[in-house]
Amino acid sequence: MAIALGERTGMDVDANDVAIMGKWLFHNHPDYEEVDIYELPLPMCAEVWEDCKLEESPFGTKDPATLQTTIIRLES
C-alpha cells in the first residue's frame, strides 16, 4: 500500500508509515504533526480525506476505543 500511495500522491512513502483500518489508510508523514487519512480503495489521484492527531491514530495508540472513535468520526 505504501507504493500505491506514493504513486498516487507523488510522495516517497515508507511502509512503516502506513496503517490500514477497515476502509481507511492512515499515513504518518514524518514532516507533519497530524496523520493523513485516505479512503480505500485509492483513486488514481489520491487526496487526503481527513486528518487526525497522532494519538488518535494507529501510530499513537493501540486503544480500541480511541481508534473506534476515530473511525466513527470519519464515517459520519
Question: CA 52, CA 37: separation in Å to the nearest integer?
Answer: 8
- 3-state DSSP helix/strand/coil percent for the chain, to nearest 5? 35, 25, 40
pLDDT in tens, the chain (76 residues): 999 999 999 999 999 999 999 999 999 998 899 999 999 999 999 999 999 999 999 999 999 999 999 999 999 9
pTM exceeds 0.75, yes or no = yes
Q: How high is the pLDDT of residue 26?
A: 98
The pLDDT score that the predictor gives to residue 42 is 96
Domain boundaries defined on the chain: 2-75
Separation of alpha carbons 37 and 47, rounded Å: 9
